[in-house]
Chain A
Amino acid sequence: MWAIVKKEFKSYFLSPIGYIYIGVFLLTCSIFFYLDIFVKLSTDFPYMFRSAVTILTFIVPLITMRMFSEERKNGTEQLLLTSPRSITQVVLGKFIAAALVVLVSVLLTLIYFGILSYFGEPQLSKSLIAILGFALLSIAYVSFGMFASSLTENQVVSAVITIAVFVLLWFLPSFSSIFIDFSLMEAFFESFYLGTISIKNLVLLVSFTALFVVFTIMVLQRRKSVK
């Protein structure tokens, strides 16, 4: 599995996608950091993520859209699936690699914490919990993006599916309160954003991630007999 993680992680940075993802993420984070914290002379670090969460909807598909679609289109999928690695290993390997790219970008937000603590005294524990929550949220998004990518060999289609579902998850709670309990973004805002860890929301994020990893494995296994 680690061989796949290593290669996948590396190939994010052999193509410009890894850099673009981290670059765009940090750019928008900088804008929100300036507008939400610097201008308002606040020391509330998690405040930065309030707007940054929305940008995930549009940049996570950047790294997930190619995960399986590209391999399928180029036929390299054949190399992976005829090697003595199980489908579970392949899926987990790819998932971990993409999650690592996201984690790197999230950990880079510590820079802003550094800047903030130079000028004021932000709360460390609260900030770390917010970062943890944000990381969990983005990894959950990656998991769904991977699932969408396993469905089609067209990268654009997989990106559009991903964005559409994320937008739905984003706005459904505004239509009916029934959806609040299922919304990933709400899960982040309800607890991690406020500096608390709630088991309910932690379980929601982690189980959402696990669910779509399992779904991806199932899709690939099923395709073996349909293909």
Chain B
Amino acid sequence: MIEVKHVTKKYGNFIAVDDINFTINNDEVVGFLGPNGAGKSTTMNMITGYIEPTNGKIIVNDYDVSKDPKKVKRQIGYMPESTPLYNDLTVREFVNYMADLKYVKRKEKKEKVDKVLQDVGLTSVQKKLIRNLSRGYKQRVSMAGALIGDPKVLILDEPTVGLDPKQITEIRDLIRKLGKNHTVILSSHILSEVSQICERVIIINKGKVLAVDTPSNLEEKFEDENRIFVTVEDEQNKINKIAKKIKNLKSIEFIKDKNDGTKQYELVANKSTDLRKEIFNLFPKNDINILELKKSEITLEDAFLKLISQKETEAEEKKKKEEEKKAKREEELNKMSKKDRKEAIKQDKKDIKQKEKEEFNKHWEENRKREKEEKERIKEVKKKIKKGGKK
């Protein structure tokens, strides 16, 4: 189990990851989704212990990453973004080296390396120098490096970037297979991939977690309209008139003329009503032949884009409101006499400071509370262990 608790990473004033929280259960395949620069890689790097978080805690299978890094790293297989490799080693030498680094026993090494090479399909090129491999193979070598040593947790940063379609399906199948007895975290900005492989999706944007849910739930959540595409043979162009007879129809829109006597339209209704039955009944009666009838389903892609734009407009509105407030206040200040203005400005500054103080104190207390809870939890666990020992 991986628990990420109130993790923040700051670079100077820039906040790369902002107070994120989530839990990942054992043997679960989870996808990190987000546009470039959202903080996916940073979060992954923090889980692997490569980067230290500025604030917060990451617990992997009961070990704290910053306190017990060795024990955590033993359980993690990490495939970094952009597949860094030692170019002057051969494939086999590289996997051997990674096995050595991960304390694979010497007796089992040969067998395990063979198995990993076979799993990722590298047996045929194992004696080639990594420098001479194509991008797809390099990706697999990186994957082999992550898999060796049987880690319980796999963290894959964009595992299918730059592969050809055949390779992509192969890697996806492999990940799906691994997901049965491994905890897998993978990041991607290809949405269809995530919805295919992952049981849950964590959507990140600008360092914040926007949603944690299953792909199908996300799709449902953002389905606010029922869209239907029909292709009809409509010689007399009556469709607009007839469509108006349908109850609950919101709008009808002409999409394109297919130049073979058929035309495509889009009909929109509320989320709760399904128009298909009615269309199917009504149109043929009025000499409109239906050639195709299709319900459009909202994809994860739409959900993703909607979610991101939603949050962004929210943030923008907030900003706008604040700016308006400021402008108003300034106007007020301008109307005042000089003396009053000075005092008012002073008061404003005081207020801001007071607010900052309050916020800081609140944060501080929260942190303390959290630490206390954590300590108590540890105490209880220890007590339980002691009791068990006595029995």
Contacts and interface: CB of A to CB of B under 8 A. Distances in A.
Nearest to B75: A84
B70 A84 contact: yes
B100 A3 contact: yes
A15 B80 CA distance: 25
A80 B101 CA distance: 8
Interface stretch (B83-91, B222-230, B241-249, B265-273): B83-91
B56 to A, nearest CB: 13
A7 B97 CA distance: 7
Given A75-B82, A84-B103, A224-B52, A11 B74 contact: no
Contact of A85 (B51, B80, B84, B101): B101
B101 A78 contact: no
A79 B98 CA distance: 8
- Of the listed residues A7, A11, A82, the one surrounded by the most CB atoms of chain B closer than 10 A to its CB is A82
A63 to B, nearest CB: 15
Contact of B85 (A76, A77, A224): A76
A15 B71 CA distance: 34
A81 B50 contact: yes
Grouping DSSP codes into helix (H, G, I), strand (E, B) and loop, the A interface class, with mixed when no group exceeds half, is: helix
Contacts of A224: 50-52
Interface in A45-82: 74-82
B8 interface: no
B88 to A, nearest CB: 5
B97 A82 contact: no
Contact of B86 (A3, A76, A82): A76
B76 interface: yes
B101 A3 contact: yes
A14 B94 CA distance: 13
Given A3-B100, A4-B101, A227-B51, A11 B86 contact: yes
Interface of B: 45, 48-52, 54, 69-71, 73-74, 76, 78, 80, 82, 84-89, 97-98, 100-103, 145
Interface of A: 3-4, 6-7, 11, 14-15, 74-86, 224-225, 227
Given A86-B69, A225-B51, 7 more contacts: A6-B100, A14-B89, A78-B45, A81-B50, A82-B73, A84-B101, A224-B51
**In the complex, the 7 A-B pairs of residues with the closest C-beta atoms, listed nearest first:** A75-B84, A3-B100, A83-B101, A225-B52, A84-B73, A84-B74, A82-B48
22 contacts: A6-B100, A7-B89, A7-B97, A11-B88, A15-B88, A75-B84, A76-B84, A77-B84, A78-B80, A79-B84, A79-B145, A82-B48, A82-B49, A82-B73, A83-B98, A83-B101, A83-B102, A84-B73, A85-B101, A224-B51, A225-B52, A227-B51
